[in-house]
Structure 1
Amino acid sequence: MNLFANLTNVLNSDVLSRIATYIDEPTEKTTKAVNGLVYTIIGGLMKRTTSEIGVNQLYNHIQKGRYDGSLTENLPAVLKDAALTNTLITQGNDVISHLLPAMKSSIGSMISGYAGIRNSSSIGLLGLTTTIVLHVLGKQVKDQKLDADGLAASLFSERDAFVNAVPEDFMPQLVEKVGLHQVVAGLAMPARRTTAEPSGRTTTTVTRPTISYEPTDDSDSENETLTKWGVGALIAVALAVGGYYLYQNTQKYSNGEEAIEVTSMADTVQTDTVARSLAVPKDSTAKTAPKPAPAATTPVAATSAVATGGLTQQLAPYLGNAALPKGRIFPLTGITFQPGSLSMTAGAQATVNELATILKTYPQLQIQLVGYANDATGEFTNKSLSFKRVNQIKQQLMASGINFMRIDAIGRGTGVAKGDTSRIPKPTLKKIDLKVVVK
Structure 2
Amino acid sequence: MSLNVIDLIKGQLGPALVSQAASQFGESESGISKAIGGILPAVVGGLANNSDNPGVLDAITNASSSGILGNLIGGASSSPVISTLLTSIFGDKISGIVNAIATYAGISNNSSSSLLNLVTGATVGSIGKYAADNNLDKSGISNLLGEQKGIVSSLLPAGLSLASLNLGSWFGGGSTTSHAEAAPKPEEPKIEVTRSTTAAGTNPDRNNNEGGGSIWKWLLPLLLLIAAGYFLWKQCEKKQTTTTTTTTDSTAAKTDTAATTTPADTSATTTPAAKTDENIDLNGVMLKGYKGGMEDQMITFLKSGNYKNAADDAALKDKWYDFDHVNFKIGSATELEAGSQGQLDNLVAILKAFPDAKIKIGGYTDKTGNEASNVKLSKSRAEFIKGALAKAGVGAQVLEAEGYGSKYAKVDAKASDAERAADRKMAVRFAK
TM over 0.5, shorter chain:
no
TM-score (norm 1): 0.40
**Higher relative CO (CA 8 A, sep ≥ 6), structure 1 or 2?**
2
